[in-house]
Structure 1
Amino acid sequence: MYKVCLLLLLIVVLVVSPLLAQKPTQPNRLELELDIYKTDVQVLATPDSSLLVLTKTDGNWTNPPTFGFTKYNHQLQPAWDKKITLNPISRYITHFSEKAYSYIAFTGESNDDFQFVKLNLTDGDYATKEYKIEAIDSIYVFKVLSGNYFIVARSRKTGTPTLLHLNESSGDIKPLPAVYGTESTFSDILVHPESQQVSVVMSESNGKISRLQTKIFSADGTLLNNYFIHPTHEKRPVTAEITPGDSTSRLLIGNYSTRNLRYASGIFTVPVTANSSDSRYYSFLQLKNFFRYMKPKREKRMRQREEQKEQAGKDSGAQYRLLFHDVYPTLNGYIISAEVYTTDSRGGNFNRIYGPTGYLVSTPTVYRRTMALAMGFDKDGILLWDNSFPLQNMETRTLQQSVEVTTSPTGTVVIAYPDEDDIFYKVMEQDNYVEEDAELKLQPGDANSKIVSTSMAGLIKWYGLNFAAFGWHRVKPANADSRMVFYINKISF
């Protein structure tokens, strides 16, 4: 009997230990005494494992608003603090960070004025430049390579996406060659510092037929190469992300459609320099864990129904809308993630296209997330595994990234999102599917304090398998009145 009990205990330890090892910790917390009604805060992750905290504090008739940056190291200890001078009505738009600098875009005094702050991550020294760009009325995203800005923006005249090149030193601004139309969008833009190149992936469509175009630019905006992925008779590649690395080995990883271009039928991979005949296609039915959001009996019936359609030569009814995230390199290949969503509107599409909040789309009443998806590929684009994270009651009014994803070089994936003072997450080890959802409750800095309420909770991937959770907490100490603080909790896996 003793041996049996010992054996059972050993089995429990072996099963539970990996799960315990994956439970996240909260090693550091920062609390800032800020006024929630007068302060706007942005938290930005940087490549040197630090965080930048941007604050804009409202002024009054005699004192203008103040802008400041504070850098915190990986333990949330302050490294430096800088006050910066901007136009009083300036508003944060977006940012881009490289190894040595962070670049932050702000609005200017008028609709065609845009300010860029170049911030030295080592010491906080900064330079601010303002540009009048009359051709655009908003900036969606930008990348910087050797002092050259590649800006995806919206044309003031046509309302369609446009691509601009801005030289930091001379201030020269020029449009870059591309085909723009009401159905054309930018799928991805990626900087390759090693080769001094920028890749721009465009999705082009007339509503019935689609193709992908990849443009390779030098740092000065010269078009070096232009590659096309055309549709085949049955499969039409619609949108894609590009992998980092050498120009001869880059892949496009995206989705394809067999019927309605608003819906994806599966995933494809193809070398950038190849053509559609070299593509590898994987329907959603070929994925092991794609339909785990369904109950087992429902999934079984659905698969049987789709197999019968395939045998009868009919198109698959397994069509979904996908919102892609970036591609993450691993030791053996790549990982890509996406959010699967539905909408109660007949408009919009599933492309990853840039807008004021990250994506430019027609706005339906609500977007509902069904699940988050992660897939691993080798360097040739062969699918190695897939996994999924069913999402419940997640709705947004705009089509933007709702979950945060981080990976390790060995292929571990963590997908997480905030909900008040809880962090819901899933740790993925390739296709090993875990049924139970995991939840972490944010902790105050003082064990004797209590978090009374949470406002404007946010979460960003930081470095390695670490996230930064932030927002506003009303904290009640044991023997004192409650107080409102802006918090940042480090979440480590």
Structure 2
Amino acid sequence: MKYVVRRKVKADSCIGLIILSLFGDIKQYAIKAIKMTGLGTSFISIKWLSDRVILSVLLTLLLFLSADVRAQVLQPRRFEIPIGQNETNFEIIPAQDEGLFLYRAFTGTRSGQLHLIHLDTAFAEKWSGFLPVEKNYFVIGKKAYNSQLYLLLRYKDYSKNDFILIIVDGATGNYTRRIIKGYIPFSPTEFQVARAAVLIGGYYNKVPIVLHFSLANFQSRVLPGIFNESGELNQIRVNEDGNFDVLISALNFQKQRTLWVKNYDVQGNLLRNFTLDVQDNRHLIFGRSLKATNDIQIIAGVYGSRSAEFSRGIFIASIDPSGLQKIRYYNFGDLENFFKYMKAKREKRVKDRIERRKIKGKKIKFNYRFLVHELVSYKDQFVLLGEAFYPKYSSVSPYGSFFSPIGRPANGMIQNGRIFEGYFYTHAVVMGFTPEGNLLWDNSFEINDVRTFTLEQFVKLDVDNDEIALLYLYENQLRTKLIRDNDVIEGKTTDPIITGSVNDVVKKSGSTNKLEYWYSEYLYAYGVQEIESQVKGQRNKRVFYINKVKHVD
């Protein structure tokens, strides 16, 4: 892996003048260098200053410019709402270039209300208000689509199977309410909105099902051809033409785990139903779908052993309209940068072991828990993003201890006599493929300190025509890495979340702070901060914040 040094022309020239001033006419070059920084007006009397003072200023500028020539994370806008210690945080639904929807539910004396706010992309409020909901109904799905906000609610238990769908007009805030017949008490896990339908995916007795609710005739039905056996619902992907795909991981007739791919039209009619053909002793555990040009479908994910708990590598499949499949497999040990998250000595030991096994003709086996999150188009190729993680447990004494009495753990959950402390992430992996599934390059991004109790995506992609920025948020710091294929353009950098005032200092940042995609090249960071003001007489505050984020080279 090569490190490519990035420098801006203006900064290069300025630093060059500073260096020349150290060896030549200090005032002549110093005045030019300071003027180039835009600080000339602050040094009106510079020609009257002593060489020693000017030298001190130049050295400070040199340090400043050397640190500032890297690519930057800009935060041009911020929105914040003061909240109390016991108040519920807001949830955010991005609506592309039409802004953001915010909502939070009220309980207790104001049970049965949702507080809604609609912001534009500059965080100006379009409208806000309170929406009444039936008692004991909770929001389980949310999606913005075609200038409207869709909220899916269900009853607190399985005594009522019907869902409530609330559709809010983004321009006016007016809303309509629809009842979706659930028919059976299934557990919903996924919610999508297509051009003319709402899709609710979930499980009934471990069997995956998808409920289709038509926005034309307001009728619901279970989609045909989903499955009759236990399996795992991997994805419901809505395509630009309104058609959608359902991916299910399950056993085939040869008792191998593979992916069942089901294509539906807008009305929910089954168009195509097939499985991916797997090689002997390889099991496809999890996958993501993408429709490419010429109606070619790309499916990428992880393969492993029969247990489906650990992955041994990445697969990528290409299916043409006739159904012809091409599947390629890439062992983790064959990737150039998969182990870059390790310390240098450990990485070298691992790679040396791989080479020894290759020379001896032995198989390379690495077991990782790995999830593929994204599959996106990039120039004339496709980019896959996934993250490696591991669960952590600690033993619990049946007698407790003086410091840790018996009872519910503060953060974890007790499972089989052990405390589940959460999922810890090690690194993200980015890979580039041709439309035929040939690997072009791979890269990685170390993830430090992140822990969660639900598996979710942390690292985000910012893709432009030449480079890819990888970003994630942890404890009030935006962490970034810039790559170009196998090369690292810029190693990990950090930028703090900017507050609303230069006098505000973040004393504590909430554990639920996240970074999410928004529109075009923009993302947004959000969460809760406890802020201390440096202005005498001003009180500290606890705020829910949203920062607009953009990565620039």
Q: Secondary structure at the match of 1:366?
A: strand
2:476 partner amino acid: D
Match of 1:128 in 2: 177
Provide the rounded CA distance (Å) in 2 between the counterparts of 1:49 and 1:75.
10
1:314-370 Cα distance to aligned partner (Å, 9 max, x none): 33122222111122222323222111112357xxxxxxxxxxxxxxxx996532211
Q: CA deviation at 1:42?
A: 0.2
Match of 1:99 in 2: 146
Alpha carbons of 1:3 and 1:443: their partners in 2 closer, same or farther (altered >3 Å)?
closer
Provide the rounded CA distance (Å) in 2 between the counterparts of 1:89 and 1:19.
53
Match of 1:490 in 2: 548
Q: CA deviation at 1:70?
A: 1.5
Match of 2:396 in 1: none
1:90-136 Cα distance to aligned partner (Å, 9 max, x none): 32212233333332222236532422222333333322223342423
Match of 2:212 in 1: 165
Match of 2:435 in 1: 379
**1:109-128 maps to which residues of 2 (within 5 A)?**
111=158, 112-128=161-177
Match of 1:359 in 2: none
| Contact 1:203–1:213, Cα closer than 8 Å, also in 2 | yes
Provide the rounded CA distance (Å) in 2 between the counterparts of 1:411 and 1:185.
37
Q: Secondary structure at the match of 1:487?
A: strand
Match of 1:138 in 2: 187
Give the counterpart of 1:268 among 308, 315, 320.
315
**1:41-440 maps to which residues of 2 (within 5 A)?**
41-48=90-97, 50-60=99-109, 63-108=110-155, 111=158, 112-155=161-204, 158-168=205-215, 169-182=217-230, 184-194=231-241, 196-205=242-251, 209-246=256-293, 248-257=295-304, 261-273=308-320, 278-344=326-392, 366-398=422-454, 400-410=455-465, 412-433=467-488, 436-440=491-495
1:139-195 Cα distance to aligned partner (Å, 9 max, x none): 21122223312221121xx1433222222333332243222433x11222211132x
2:518 paired with 1:462: yes
Match of 1:449 in 2: 504
Provide the rounded CA distance (Å) in 1 between the counterparts of 2:443 and 2:346.
18
Provide the rounded CA distance (Å) in 2 between the counterparts of 1:276 and 1:265.
25
Provide the rounded CA distance (Å) in 1 between the counterparts of 2:17 and 2:482.
34
Q: Secondary structure at the match of 1:230?
A: coil
Q: Secondary structure at the match of 1:300?
A: helix
| Contact 1:145–1:219, Cα closer than 8 Å, also in 2 | yes
Q: CA deviation at 1:69?
A: 2.0
1:333 partner amino acid: Q
| Contact 1:71–1:78, Cα closer than 8 Å, also in 2 | yes
| Contact 1:423–1:440, Cα closer than 8 Å, also in 2 | yes
Q: Which has the larger radius of gyration?
A: 2
Q: Secondary structure at the match of 2:350?
A: helix
2:79 paired with 1:30: yes
Match of 1:351 in 2: none
Provide the rounded CA distance (Å) in 1 between the counterparts of 2:327 and 2:502.
55
Q: CA deviation at 1:467?
A: 2.3
| Contact 1:55–1:69, Cα closer than 8 Å, also in 2 | yes
Match of 2:27 in 1: none
Q: Secondary structure at the match of 1:488?
A: strand
Q: CA deviation at 1:407?
A: 2.7
2:251 partner amino acid: S
Alpha carbons of 1:389 and 1:54: their partners in 2 closer, same or farther (altered >3 Å)?
same
Q: CA deviation at 1:394?
A: 2.3
Provide the rounded CA distance (Å) in 2 between the counterparts of 1:17 and 1:227.
56
Q: CA deviation at 1:8?
A: 12
Moved more, 336-345 or 248-257: 336-345
1:119 partner amino acid: V
Q: Secondary structure at the match of 2:483?
A: strand
Number of aligned residues: 466
| Contact 2:389–2:423, Cα closer than 8 Å, also in 1 | yes
Provide the rounded CA distance (Å) in 2 between the counterparts of 1:414 and 1:249.
27
Moved more, 268-277 or 331-340: 268-277
Q: CA deviation at 1:6?
A: 5.5
Q: Secondary structure at the match of 1:285?
A: helix
Match of 1:350 in 2: none
More helix by share: 2
2:498 partner amino acid: Q
Q: Secondary structure at the match of 1:81?
A: strand
- Tell me the C-alpha RMSD between the 2 structures: 3.3
1:76 partner amino acid: F
Provide the rounded CA distance (Å) in 2 between the counterparts of 1:474 and 1:381.
48
| Contact 1:289–1:433, Cα closer than 8 Å, also in 2 | no
**5+ residue gaps in structure 2?**
1-15, 24-32, 34-61, 394-415
1:202 partner amino acid: I
Q: Secondary structure at the match of 2:379?
A: coil
Provide the rounded CA distance (Å) in 1 between the counterparts of 2:20 and 2:336.
36
Alpha carbons of 1:32 and 1:267: their partners in 2 closer, same or farther (altered >3 Å)?
same
Alpha carbons of 1:383 and 1:123: their partners in 2 closer, same or farther (altered >3 Å)?
farther
